[in-house]
Chain A
Amino acid sequence: GDSVTQMEGPVTLSEEAFLTINCTYTATGYPSLFWYVQYPGEGLQLLLKATKADDKGSNKGFEATYRKETTSFHLEKGSVQVSDSAVYFCALSDRNTGTASKLTFGTGTRLQVTL
C-alpha cells in the first residue's frame, strides 16, 4: 500500500536558519503530493502541493519539488521565523480515477524556531 516517511523531529532551529524536512513516499500509482502544517491548537491546513513530476509547490517562502526518480518531496525554507513553529505533515493522495481524495500522511515533524 501507499506510505509516507518523513524525518523525525523535533527540529530546533534559530531564526533565519535554513530548513529542510525530508519526505519520501511509496505509491502504487502516480500520486499528488502535499505538505500540510498544523499550528498549536489548530487543525491542519494546506501549505503547498504538487501534482506531477518536477512540479514545485511554494507558499509563504516554503518550497518542495516532486522528484519521481527519488520518490521524494522535501520541504525547504531559506530563512525560518518563530511564527513557523508548528508540526509539518507530508502526505500523498492516490490518483486512481473515481476514488475519493484519501490522504496518506507521514508521522509529522515538529519544528521549533527560537530567537
Chain B
Amino acid sequence: NAGVTQTPKFRVLKTGQSMTLLCAQDMNHEYMYWYRQDPGMGLRLIHYSVGEGTTAKGEVPDGYNVSRLKKQNFLLGLESAAPSQTSVYFCASSYGLSGNIQYFGAGTRLSVL
C-alpha cells in the first residue's frame, strides 16, 4: 500500500545549490503534480504532467524544472536554490480528468539558507 512516495523527507540547502526531489507512485496514474505549501497560502501548483514524457507549467513554475521519463516517477529539480524556495513540497497523482481524486505523498520539507 505504498501509494505516493516522496524522497527525501527533509533537506537543507545553501543558496545556489541544486537538488532533485523524487516522487514515485504505484497506482498506474496518468497524471502527476507538484505543489508547494507555504503558511497562509494553501497549496500552489508548480508543474504537472498528463502522461509519460509530458510536463506543463502550473501557477508558480519559476525556478523549478520537472521530468517524467517513466510513468511512475515525477522529478522536481531546483537548479539554483533560493531562500524563497523554502517550503514544504507535495507530490500528488490522479487518474486524470477534472473531478478525479488526487492522492498525495507525505511531503518534503526543504530549507534554503
Q: Do A and B bind each other?
A: yes
Q: Does B19 contact A (CB under 8 A)?
A: no
Contact A105 B98 (CB under 8 A): no
Contact B104 A43 (CB under 8 A): yes
Contacting residue for B58 out of A36, A45, A101, A102, CB 8 A: A102
Give the distance in Å from the alpha carbon of A103 to the alpha carbon of B42 in the complex: 11
Query: Residue of A at shortest CB range from B4?
Result: A43
Q: How large is the interface on B (under 10, 10 to 19, 20 to 34, 35 or more residues)?
A: 20 to 34
Which residues in B have their C-beta under 8 angstroms from that of A44?
Answer: 43, 90, 92, 104
Give the distance in Å from the alpha carbon of A100 to the alpha carbon of B104 in the complex: 16
Could you tell me the distance in whole angstroms from the C-beta of A38 to the nearest C-beta in chain B?
A: 8
Which residues in A have their C-beta under 8 angstroms from that of B98?
Answer: 31-32, 93-97, 99-102
Query: Residue of A at shortest CB range from B40?
Result: A107
Could you tell me the distance in whole angstroms from the C-beta of B53 to the nearest C-beta in chain A?
A: 15
User: Which residues of chain B from 90 to 113 have any CB-CB distance to chain A below 8 Å in the complex?
Assistant: 90, 92, 94, 96-107
**A residues in contact (CB < 8 Å) with B:** 4, 31-32, 34, 36, 41-46, 49, 51, 89, 93-103, 105-108
| Extra contacts besides A36-B104, A89-B42, A93-B100 (14): CB < 8 Å | A42-B107, A43-B90, A43-B105, A44-B90, A45-B104, A93-B99, A98-B97, A100-B50, A100-B97, A102-B45, A103-B33, A103-B102, A107-B41, A107-B42
Please give me the 8 A-B residue pairs with the lowest Cβ-Cβ distance, nearest first.
A43-B104, A105-B42, A32-B99, A44-B104, A107-B42, A105-B43, A43-B106, A95-B98
